[in-house]
């Protein structure tokens, strides 16, 4: 493995760490509802930050769009729309089946599709080479690790939600909610992979940015600026709907919450920084970048998200058995990152 590949893997790994931790500031916004914090986050993460990054890192960025085909822009926007719908479906699934099952299904499917489709379409000759087989093995290991960690989280959450006093009608409704939640998870898993597919198949934007003199980070930001725009629109409009429906816009005026705006902006910057590093790393890694990089990226997100949950007390009160299961899952995820990393070796 040469130094550039090592740097690419490091960039992707750090990007995943940032992506896995961008939710952390939300823990300090207890006086706001989800839609209050999310509307600020989505505005920064999906609209302001990508365009500022592109304008800063790409010389003559507005003029670049005139040299990109309409087809490339439309395809990227369509993938972004699918990605945005997937994000909303994932958020809705949380309410029906909880975080554990949602993460297991959504990230497992997104990791697999987002890794294997670019590999089979963009680098089919390498799919069954030593490198390609290592990437596929990393996907399988990552899915197993995700399932183990999510099983531990399900054990944790089931203890908290266990209520023997529920009526038969409530139990029946709960079962229907689970079925509906799983359907949402399946849809969200497929659509969540559109973020990486849009990045992989929107390569014309990054190539043009490179021709304009941009480096790897600037080149990837050209794609994110277009890909994230429909994600912003969907999230922003949905938040507006919730603010009106739940009458929560007044929460913005609650005393002592002014600094929450800084926290939502920090969430957006952390999110975009993670995506920018993944994009730069994937471009550096070459043909296998959007496959090898994606599985490392997704695995590190799950890994860091669960470790931060442990540190911030989300696992407080869990049994030793549940904690041991979680740590086994974390170890499997570390193995997945290691296997994916070695696929870059020559």
Express each pLDDT in 209-254 by its tens digit: 999 899 888 898 999 999 999 999 999 999 999 999 999 999 999 9
What whole-number distance in Å separates Cα of residue 65 and Cα of residue 62?
6
Identify the pLDDT of residue 286: 77
Q: Give the tens place of pLDDT for each residue, 306-327.
A: 778 778 777 787 788 888 988 8
Judge whether 169 lies within some domain. Answer: no
What whole-number distance in Å separates Cα of residue 110 and Cα of residue 94?
16
pTM to 2 decimal places: 0.79
Q: Which domain, by its residues, includes 64?
A: 3-160+180-342
Q: Residues 6 or more apart from 103 whose CB is under 8 A from it? A: 146, 149, 150, 153, 302, 305
- What percent of the chain lies above the pLDDT cut of 70? 88
Between CA 295 and CA 298, with CA 297 as vertex, the angle to 5 degrees is 65
Identify the pLDDT of residue 160: 59
Q: Give yes or no for residue 106 having a pLDDT over 70.
A: yes
Identify the pLDDT of residue 346: 45
Identify the pLDDT of residue 231: 94
297 vs 149, more confident: 297
Q: Give yes or no for residue 264 having a pLDDT over 80.
A: yes
Judge whether 247 lies within some domain. Answer: yes
Q: Give the tens place of pLDDT for each residue, 185-205.
A: 888 888 988 988 898 888 899
Judge whether 135 lies within some domain. Answer: yes
Longest dimension (CA), the chain: 66
Which burial class, exposed, middle or buried, applies to 334 when counting CB atoms under 10 A from its CB (0-12, 13-18, 19+)?
A: middle
DSSP, collapsed to helix, strand or coil, labels residue 198 as helix
Judge whether 196 lies within some domain. Answer: yes
Q: Give yes or no for residue 107 having a pLDDT over 50.
A: yes
Residues in the chain: 346
287 vs 24, more confident: 24
Judge whether 92 lies within some domain. Answer: yes
Average pLDDT of 102-124? 76
What whole-number distance in Å separates Cα of residue 261 and Cα of residue 41?
9
Average pLDDT of 11-28? 88
> What is the total count of domains within the chain?
1
Judge whether 174 lies within some domain. Answer: no
Q: With residue 58 as reference, give the H or E element that holds it.
A: none
Residue 199 near residue 290, CB atoms below 8 Å: yes
Q: Among 46-50, 174-178, 270-274, where is mean pLDDT lowest? A: 174-178
Residue 344 near residue 285, CB atoms below 8 Å: yes
Q: How many CB atoms lie within 10 A of CB 51?
A: 17
Identify the pLDDT of residue 167: 61
Identify the pLDDT of residue 284: 86
Task: Please measure the distance between the N-terminal and C-terminal CA atoms of the chain and give it in whole angstroms.
Answer: 6
Judge whether 170 lies within some domain. Answer: no
Cβ density class 229-251: b for 16+ within 10 Å, e for less? bbbbbbbbebbeebbeeeebeeb
Judge whether 111 lies within some domain. Answer: yes
Identify the pLDDT of residue 98: 61
Average pLDDT of 6-30? 88
Cβ density class 8-40: b for 16+ within 10 Å, e for less? bbebbbbbbbbbbbbbbbbeebeebeebbbbbb
State the average pLDDT for the chain. Answer: 83
Query: For the residues of 106-154, what is the DSSP string, one character each?
Result: HHHHHHHHHHHHHHHHH-GGGTTSHHHHHHHHHHHHHHHHHHHHHHHHH
Q: Among 20-34, 141-155, 158-172, 309-323, where is mean pLDDT lowest? A: 158-172
């Amino acid at each position: 493995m040469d130094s550039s590949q090592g740097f690419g893997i490091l960039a992707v790994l750090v990007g995943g760490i940032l992506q896995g931790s961008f939710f952390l500031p939300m823990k300090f916004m207890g006086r706001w509802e989800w839609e209050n914090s999310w509307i600020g986050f989505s505005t920064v993460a999906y609209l302001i930050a990508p365009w500022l990054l592109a304008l800063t890192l790409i010389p003559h960025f507005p003029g670049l769009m005139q040299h990109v085909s309409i087809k490339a822009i439309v395809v990227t926007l369509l993938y972004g729309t699918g990605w945005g719908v997937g994000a909303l479906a994932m958020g809705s699934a949380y309410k029906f089946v909880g975080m554990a099952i949602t993460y297991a299904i959504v990230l497992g499917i997104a990791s697999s599709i987002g890794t294997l489709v670019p590999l089979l379409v963009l680098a089919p000759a390498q799919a069954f080479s030593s490198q390609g087989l290592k990437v596929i093995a990393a996907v399988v290991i990552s899915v197993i690790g995700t399932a183990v960690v999510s099983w531990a989280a399900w054990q944790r959450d089931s203890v908290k939600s266990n209520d023997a006093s529920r009526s038969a009608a409530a139990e029946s409704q709960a079962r229907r909610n689970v079925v509906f939640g799983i359907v949402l998870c399946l849809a969200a898993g497929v659509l969540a992979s559109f973020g990486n597919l849009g990045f992989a198949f929107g390569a014309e934007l990054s190539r043009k940015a490179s021709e304009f003199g941009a480096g790897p980070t600037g080149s990837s930001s050209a794609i994110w600026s277009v890909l994230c725009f429909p994600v912003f629109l969907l999230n922003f409009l949905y938040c507006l709907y919730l603010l009106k429906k739940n009458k929560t816009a007044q929460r913005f005026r609650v005393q002592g919450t002014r600094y929450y705006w800084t926290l939502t902006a920090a969430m957006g910057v952390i999110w975009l920084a993670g995506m920018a590093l993944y994009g730069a790393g994937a471009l550096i890694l070459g043909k296998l970048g959007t496959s090898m990089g994606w599985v490392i990226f997704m695995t590190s997100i799950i890994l860091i998200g669960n470790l931060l949950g442990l540190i911030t007390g989300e696992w407080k009160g869990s049994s030793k058995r549940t904690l041991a299961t979680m740590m086994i899952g974390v170890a499997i995820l570390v193995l997945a990152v290691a296997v994916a990393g070695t696929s870059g070796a020559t």
